[in-house]
């Protein structure tokens, strides 16, 4: 509990004690007014002060003005204890609100703690401790066990275990070694590593994440905006209604002034829209905080509201549904052994930087002896040609290799095929594929279980490969061989009929589509900067299974918001009617205002808790 909260609690306790003393003494006349004014002033002097200042600022139709007016009026008609009770319970509600907001902010503060405050940079063979924003791209930094990695980069020396939970929500540490990427904000757990910096601190993962979180609460949902507009109209209308209720019956129908003024004061006490104005943004803030703990960054309440209603999910293939890297699926020799075929291809491809070439070299179990290669030429879009130990080896697509040797019909094969020939002799072919991520099928199944009506894959890859993955993941539709512009067109066709539409991607070519759809989701861990900036939701660890979790959190948050709105309006409407006819008094008004506010706040705090999905 903060110092401010503690002071307010002490004032509440003192006011309760003073009120109890007044009730026990049961004073009358002027003494009753004095003894009840004392606890009222102790607990509510700040409310009254703000109400008076609000009048001079032209902002007087707020909850503090209404509380001051209602309690002052209650004193005027002799309802001393009700006057104190209204102010007392209003402050109790304010205390609950403060504690609830503090709890929901806890997740955000924990995320802010990932900001590194120093970096150990190697300069001139010596270690220097500097601020992370003083390190340049290309410099090497040393990260010791227990330290937070300050900048994005690649490990050039050493191996270690890294705790990524602060960013990804995953409790299982990652094993990393030379050549692996590391991201800022994560914690080095075991070995000493040297990291070559790849981005400045201002563009680092941790800095971008913090900026996204800091700006998330500024983007209001439609519901929040509606409640704000509603409160501006609702409160003056009810105040006008209270005045008319207090004045017209005594003037026109000879009613009792004290009775009808009291009913008007009940109207004022009920009219404060605290439960709505406080609980709605608090619910969304809690939902965003809960999502951040799971490694899901939602850039604003408006995106959470759309995500909760998504009917169609469109997914990029490479890097989203698949791992985004080729691997050798099978080796099919003709006039050679499998080992000989793979060796010839590995030697031919060893100097190429193409992902397919690197995958073949990685699949070759032995080291490539570069001294055996006397010549190598790469033919873009076709293949490679190399001279190895005096033998001319070709590796590439069917059109390139068939110009040199006859290739037999291999039937239908799903994947990328590399044909290999040596000295005008066909050796066979190697089948490569981009493997589906282990959790892709689980994610698609969970989305459908959540009621998502349509799952669609967009890819620039070959149709046969795309359709095979579509069948494996049981997707509803597959669009293949698309350019980035074609992807935008495909999404635009889906939006009118199947809105809201969410698009999930990770590449720079996905940025236009992420911006165009109703809600864009970027795979953040390996995703490009452009995709992360264009997206509305970022999954920090590249696990597609986080998408159903984001939908669950969003739906639960929106459901709680709706519960609060319906509950608050229904109770207030009931008590307003009962107060107008003289059935409900000030105590019912206290419940309709402060009681409903407390219940709504407690309900909003449920956004911090998400039920685990059934296994």
Interval 235-289: pLDDT, tens: 778 778 888 888 898 888 877 888 888 888 877 777 766 666 667 777 887 788 7
Structural domains of the chain ordered from first start: 119-208 (2.70.150.10), 324-435 (3.40.1110.10)
Mean pLDDT of 514-532: 71
To 10 degrees, what angle do helices 80-112 and 29-57 make?
40
**Model confidence band, residue 461 (pLDDT cutoffs 50, 70, 90):** confident
Q: Is 94 exposed, middle or buried (0-12, 13-18, 19+ CB in 10 A)?
A: buried
DSSP 380: T
**Model confidence band, residue 426 (pLDDT cutoffs 50, 70, 90):** very high
**Model confidence band, residue 388 (pLDDT cutoffs 50, 70, 90):** very high
More confident site: 113 or 605: 605
Mean pLDDT of 361-374: 89
DSSP 395: E
**Model confidence band, residue 615 (pLDDT cutoffs 50, 70, 90):** very low
Residue 60's pLDDT is what? 61
Q: Is 130 exposed, middle or buried (0-12, 13-18, 19+ CB in 10 A)?
A: middle
Find, among 355, 359, 346, the residue nearest to 422 by Cα. 346
Phi, psi of 303 (to 5 degrees): -75, -35
Q: What percent of the chain has pLDDT over 90?
A: 22
Phi, psi of 563 (to 5 degrees): -60, -45
Which range, of 183-197, 230-244, 367-381, 393-407, averages the lowest pLDDT? 230-244
Residue 614's pLDDT is what? 46
Residue tagged active-site, from 152, 316, 506, 593: 316
Structure tokens that stand for 257 in this block: 């002034």
Q: Name the 3-class secondary structure at 525.
A: coil
More confident site: 185 or 393: 393
116-119, long-range: CB within 8 Å, 24+ apart, which pairs? 116/148, 116/149, 116/150, 116/151, 116/184, 116/185, 116/206, 118/150, 119/150, 119/151
Radius of gyration of the chain (CA): 34
Q: Name the 3-class secondary structure at 245.
A: helix
Q: Name the 3-class secondary structure at 131.
A: coil
Answering whether pTM is above 0.75, one says no
Residue 169 confidence (pLDDT) above 60: no
Residue 62's pLDDT is what? 66
Phi, psi of 568 (to 5 degrees): -65, -45
Q: Report the range out of 200-204, 399-403, 567-571 with the highest average pLDDT.
A: 399-403
Which range, of 193-202, 528-537, 589-598, averages the lowest pLDDT? 528-537
Residue 449 confidence (pLDDT) above 90: yes
Residue 111 confidence (pLDDT) above 70: no
Residue 551 confidence (pLDDT) above 90: yes
Quick check: is 316 catalytic? Answer: yes
């Amino acid at each position: 509990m903060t110092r401010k909260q503690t002071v307010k609690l002490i004032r509440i306790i003192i006011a309760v004690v003073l009120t109890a003393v007044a009730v026990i003494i049961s004073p009358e006349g002027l003494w009753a007014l004095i003894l009840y004014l004392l606890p009222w002033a102790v607990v509510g002097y700040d409310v009254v002060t703000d109400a008076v200042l609000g009048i001079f600022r032209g902002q007087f139709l707020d909850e503090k003005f209404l509380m001051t007016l209602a309690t002052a009026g209650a004193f005027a008609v002799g309802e001393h204890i009700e006057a104190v009770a209204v102010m007392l319970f209003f402050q109790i509600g304010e205390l609950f609100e403060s504690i609830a907001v503090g709890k929901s902010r806890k997740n955000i503060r924990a995320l802010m703690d990932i900001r590194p405050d120093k970096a150990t940079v190697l300069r001139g063979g010596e270690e220097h401790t500097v601020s992370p924003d003083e390190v340049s791209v290309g410099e090497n930094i040393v990260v010791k066990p227990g330290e937070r990695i300050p900048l994005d980069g690649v490990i050039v020396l050493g191996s270690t275990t890294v705790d990524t939970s602060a960013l990804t929500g995953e409790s299982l540490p990652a094993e990393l070694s030379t050549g692996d990427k590391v991201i800022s904000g994560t914690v080095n757990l075991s070995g000493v590593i040297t990291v070559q910096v790849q981005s400045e601190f201002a563009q680092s993962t941790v800095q971008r994440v913090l900026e996204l979180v800091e700006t998330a609460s500024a983007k209001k949902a439609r519901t929040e905006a509606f409640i704000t507009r509603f409160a501006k109209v609702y409160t003056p209308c009810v105040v006008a209604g209270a005045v008319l209720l207090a004045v017209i019956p005594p003037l026109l129908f000879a009613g009792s002034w004290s009775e009808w003024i009291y009913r008007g004061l009940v109207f004022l006490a009920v009219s404060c829209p605290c439960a709505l104005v406080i609980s709605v943004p608090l619910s969304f803030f809690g939902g965003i905080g809960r999502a951040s703990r799971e490694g899901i960054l939602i850039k604003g309440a408006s995106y959470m509201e759309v995500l909760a209603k998504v009917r169609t999910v469109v997914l990029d293939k490479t890097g989203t549904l698949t791992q985004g890297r080729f691997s050798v699926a099978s080796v099919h020799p003709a006039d050679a052994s499998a080992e000989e075929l793979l060796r010839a291809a590995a030697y031919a491809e060893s100097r190429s930087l193409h992902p397919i070439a690197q995958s073949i070299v990685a699949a070759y179990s032995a080291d490539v002896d570069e001294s055996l290669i006397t010549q190598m030429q790469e033919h873009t879009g076709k293949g490679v040609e190399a001279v190895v130990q005096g033998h001319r080896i070709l590796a590439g697509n069917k059109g390139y290799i068939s110009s040199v040797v006859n290739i037999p019909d291999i039937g239908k094969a799903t994947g990328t095929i590399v044909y290999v020939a040596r000295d005008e002799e066909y050796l066979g072919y190697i089948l490569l594929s981009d493997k589906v991520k282990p959790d892709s099928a689980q994610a698609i199944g969970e989305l459908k279980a959540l009621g998502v009506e349509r799952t669609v894959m967009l890819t620039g890859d070959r149709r046969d490969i795309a359709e095979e993955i579509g069948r494996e993941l049981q997707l509803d539709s597959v669009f293949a061989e698309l350019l980035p512009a074609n992807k935008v067109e495909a999404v635009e066709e889906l939006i009118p009929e199947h809105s809201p539409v969410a698009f999930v991607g990770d590449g720079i070519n996905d940025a236009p589509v992420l911006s165009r759809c109703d809600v864009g989701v970027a795979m953040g861990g390996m995703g490009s900067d452009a995709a992360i900036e264009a997206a509305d939701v970022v999954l920090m660890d590249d696990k597609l299974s986080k998408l159903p979790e984001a939908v669950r959190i969003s739906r639960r948050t929106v459901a709680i918001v709706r519960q609060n709105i319906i509950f608050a309006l229904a109770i207030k409407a009931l008590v307003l009617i009962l107060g107008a006819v003289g059935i409900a008094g000030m105590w019912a008004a206290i419940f309709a205002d402060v009681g409903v506010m407390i219940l709504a706040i407690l309900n909003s705090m449920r956004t911090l808790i998400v039920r685990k999905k059934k296994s």
